[in-house]
Amino acid sequence: MLSSNHGTRVPGFPDPRESGKDNARYSRQIAFNKIGQKGQEKLSRAKVAIVGMGGLGSVIAMILARAGIGYLRLIDRDVVEPDNLQRQVLFDESDIWAPKAHASKKRLSAINSGIKIDAICGDLNGKNTKKLLSGVDLILDGTDNMETRVIINEFAVKNKIPFIYGAAVRDKGMATLIIPGKTPCLKCIFRRVSGLGMDCGSFGVLPTAAGLIGTVEANEAIKLICGFGKTLQGLLFYLDLSENRFDVLAIKKDRKCGICGICR
């Protein structure tokens, strides 16, 4: 279960207990016994940051906005380009050359006006990580480069914020849930970061691969926030769509990891 200090309603945030309209909107989730009214209230209090609003991040944000996450912080440095429309589900032709963060906020606000959304058009780096990622309960990876993921991983571990990693390239993808102090961190999993330089710009990506990994990330967020099901803690989800292969692999903490290892 996600550990959060938001046990009471945050001013300005929607409260499903006080709104029949919200109950109607989320009725299919509330009817699911593993979420129910209490789970929906947890979703409405959750504060989530999504770094990268491309093929992964746009899917993650769309699902979480529809699910009723009370606060979304969208971070992206890029503008919408024509080749983004192949897989980035929040954008259409009218958004081309608009900042992705702002275009995403506009679309998500039209989908769900009852949640709060902050759009940050900028580059996440080692100097501004605290400013951009502080004050949230959960960070989700929508990036397309390992350098940014390494920065997020180090910040998340240091500040004990759960971090959901995901990546998709070609016809393959993977995802895991990192719980600081409990699970392997990203550096434990990928000790040789330099070997993970593949990106969809150079190698291509199927929209289905990005969509599925984004969905897995969003699903992990919902399970973690509501406190149900088996999450990907200590597990790496892997898919290969050409081979119809879906695997869940056990991963181990590196005791000598320079980020989270007990021997560091």
pLDDT score at 37: 97
pLDDT score at 6: 41
pLDDT score at 4: 46
Q: pTM above 0.85?
A: yes
Domain assignment of residue 102, yes or no? yes
Q: Can you list the residues of the chain whose pLDDT is less than 70?
A: 1-21, 192-201, 262-264
Place of tokens 């275009």: 103
pLDDT score at 38: 97
**How many domains does one find in the chain?**
1
* Domain that residue 97 falls in: 24-250
The CATH number of whichever domain residue 34 belongs to comes to 3.40.50.720
Domain assignment of residue 35, yes or no? yes
Domain assignment of residue 62, yes or no? yes
pLDDT score at 261: 81
| CB 110, CB 134: distance < 8 Å | no
Rounded to 5 degrees, what are φ and ψ at 82?
Answer: -55, -40
Domain assignment of residue 165, yes or no? yes
| CB 64, CB 138: distance < 8 Å | no
Per-residue CA distances from 205 to 128, 200, 246 (Å): 30, 5, 17
Domain assignment of residue 256, yes or no? no
Domain assignment of residue 5, yes or no? no
